[in-house]
Structures are given as structure tokens and as C-alpha cells.
Amino acid sequence: MATTITINVTNNSPTVQNFFFFQQPAVYSGGAQVYTNSLYTQTLLPYATSGAVLTFTMVLQYYAGVQQQVSPPQVGQASGQLAAIQAIGLTPASGGTPTNNTTNMTVSPSLGLSVPVSTSGPQAGSFRIVTPTYNPVLNAYNAGSAVQALSGAITLSNFVTAQPNTNLDCQPVIKFYVQTGTYTPGTVMNFTSSSVNAALCDATPGYTTFNVSYNVDGTWTVQSMALSRMSDGRLGLIERAIENMLGSSTAAANAQVLNEAGTGVLSTGNAANFDPPVTITNLSNPGNLAVYSEYQVGPTGGPYKGRMCTNLNGTTGVFSQ
């Protein structure tokens, strides 16, 4: 079963509100201007008088996407039409297991993306779209990172204007935002202004469910939860952090456990030091870890060292050399 990210929004204000969802733009090679599309929008009644909760669920899978431009990207306008997407892997860190991280864009006889293959060129944490030769004056295209909703709908989340005969590297960022207002999915929006005082749902540490409350004073409360094994052995959602609209967490983790390739954070937690054996408590997502498996372990942001998990008890793990 595919991993999903779910954002539940409650309107605790006394009036009807419109909410829209969007993603933090990826990091692109080449320095081109990056555009952001809205992913979803909906009207929500006050919870006190309706009991209504707005839920947006997306599949946690990286997608490369391309799209034909109708006109140059403009805030408030649809970004394009005739899109093509491919599920794709991210390039591992040096020494990691190769992934299918590169896809080729075609424009004739129609717009498309090839089945991804493994190449050694893209930087760690990114995927590559190889564009063909074409006349950008006659035909313009968008290329970037796409998101799939649980309904199956896929939206080009953020993108740049593609240039012919180039390698476009895209490093996705799995941070999502909720803001008041209305932007139709697939419509270009201003990320810089819209993200100010928006609710941030950061899935980077391994959180998969976010309960977002829009408060009566216009602030936000975000409850971040992860799928973890509970004391009785069952899997369940465990609350790991509560954040206000500025994103300041009440539970500050100082340790990260990455996959063996070092390309993704599996869990966060707290460590007194990083001398082996390293003991990490308050693991945010122990269900992602297994005894006798290899990981990259270190302080938040690195540096990381390869270590084996030798003991796992609830939300506490021990990592040895």
C-alpha cells in the first residue's frame, strides 16, 4: 500500500473560510524562475456549527512532470494543458543503491516522458528531465515536480519554463502549506506572499498526518503525527509535535536517522551525544526502522555516519558501528 500524506483542516473561526494547499518549490538547476501551482482548494464551514473537517490526501511518491504552456506563467492563471508525468526515483548519495532517476521528454508526435532509467549525472536527492531539441518560440513547455492526490488527480506542483536540449535537475521538498483564500488546482500562485503566516506541514522528518486548526484569531495550530508502533504492538498515529503558525515546535529533535543511501530522513529523535553506540530517544517514526539494518545517523543537518541499529524498544533505538 502506498504511503500517503494527509492534511486535516478544522475551521475554528466563526465564519466560512476558503482554504488552499500548496507545496514548497523544489530546488532546480540552472537558476530559472520557479513557479508554484495550487494543489487543492475548498470552502469550509465553522467547526462549532457544522462539525466539518476538510481532508486533503496525497500519495508520497516523486513524479516528474511536463506540461504545454498556453501562455507565459502568470499568477491567477492556469499553468498549461496536455500534461505528462512519470513516477521517478531520487538520486542516492555516493555509494547508495542506484535508482531510476532520469526521464527523457519528447515533444513529437506528442508531449511525453519516457520510463525513467538510472544515470549517474543528477546530484543526490534530485531527479533529471532531459529535454529534446525544439523551437521554444513556437512551443513552450513547463517541467518540474508533480503531486498525485489520493483521487488519482495529478497536478504539476512547481515548475520552471523548460529550455531545449538541456538537463533539468529537480530536488523536491516535501513541505506543504495551507492558507486562506482560493486558488483553483493547477493555477499559478505567488509562493512568497502566500506562505507568509500560512500553516506549514513539514513531512521531511517522517510525519504523515497533520491536523491543522485555523484559530479564531487568524493563527494556526499544526499537530504533526507519525505512524509508530504503540506499547501494545499495534501500529498507530502518535503525536510528535505541535506547532504554531510560525512553525516553532514544542518538541525539538536534535538527531536524524536517514536511509542507508543518505537520501531521506526516516526518523528524528533526541541524542545526548553521537559517540557509538548512539542511543536515540523519542524516535518520531520507529516503524520505519528495523534491527540489524544499516542507516546514516547523526545530528540534524549532519554530518552523518553509517551505523547499524542493534536494538529497538518502543521509541528508543541504539545504533552501533
- Give residue-wise pLDDT tens across range 94-103: 888 999 999 9
Helix (H) or strand (E) holding 47: helix 47-50
Distance CA 135, CA 230 (A): 57
User: Which amino acid would we find at residue 68?
Assistant: Q
Per-residue pLDDT at 84: 92
Alpha carbon of residue 133 to chain centroid: 31
What the block records as the C-alpha cell of 68 is: 504545454
Half-sphere exposure of 242 (CA within 13 A, CB side): 3
pLDDT of 213 higher than 80: yes
pLDDT at 43 over 90: yes
Task: Give the residue among 221, 228, 227, 225 at the shortest CA–CA distance from 209.
Answer: 225
User: At 132, is the pLDDT very low, low, confident or very high (cuts 50, 70, 90)?
Assistant: very high
Q: Which class for 164: exposed (0-12), middle (13-18), buried (19 or more C-beta within 10 A)? A: middle
Nearest of 164, 166, 167, 168 to residue 134 by alpha carbon = 164
pLDDT per position as a tens digit, 161-202: 999 999 999 999 999 999 999 999 999 999 989 999 999 999
How far is residue 46 from each of residues 17, 171, 193, measured CA to CA in Å? 8, 37, 25
80: phi > 0 → left, psi -120 to 50 → alpha, else beta; which? left
Q: What do you get for the CA distance between the two ends of the chain, in Å?
A: 33
Model pLDDT, residue 249: 38
CA dihedral 259, 263, 269, 272 (to 10 degrees): 90
Least Cα distance to 79 among 96, 64, 59, 65 occurs for 65
The pLDDT score that the predictor gives to residue 261 is: 87
Which residue, 43, 49, 26, 53, is CA-closest to 143?
26
Distances (CA, A) of 106 to 14, 122, 279: 51, 19, 50
Angle, CA 312 vertex, CA 271 and CA 252 arms, to 5°: 30
State yes or no: pLDDT of 251 exceeds 50.
no
Domain locations in the chain as residue ranges? 4-192, 255-320
Q: Which residue has the cell 498526518?
A: 209
Q: Residue 49 in 3-state DSSP?
A: helix
Q: Which residues lie below 8 Å from residue 13, measured CB to CB, with a gap of 6+?
A: 46, 214, 215, 216, 218
Nearest-Å Rg of the Cα atoms of the chain is 21
**Residues 6+ positions from 127 with CB-CB distance below 8 Å:** 62, 64, 88, 89, 90, 91, 101, 102, 103, 116, 169, 170, 172
Mean pLDDT of all residues belonging to the chain: 88
Per-residue confidence band for 36, with pLDDT thresholds at 50, 70 and 90: very high
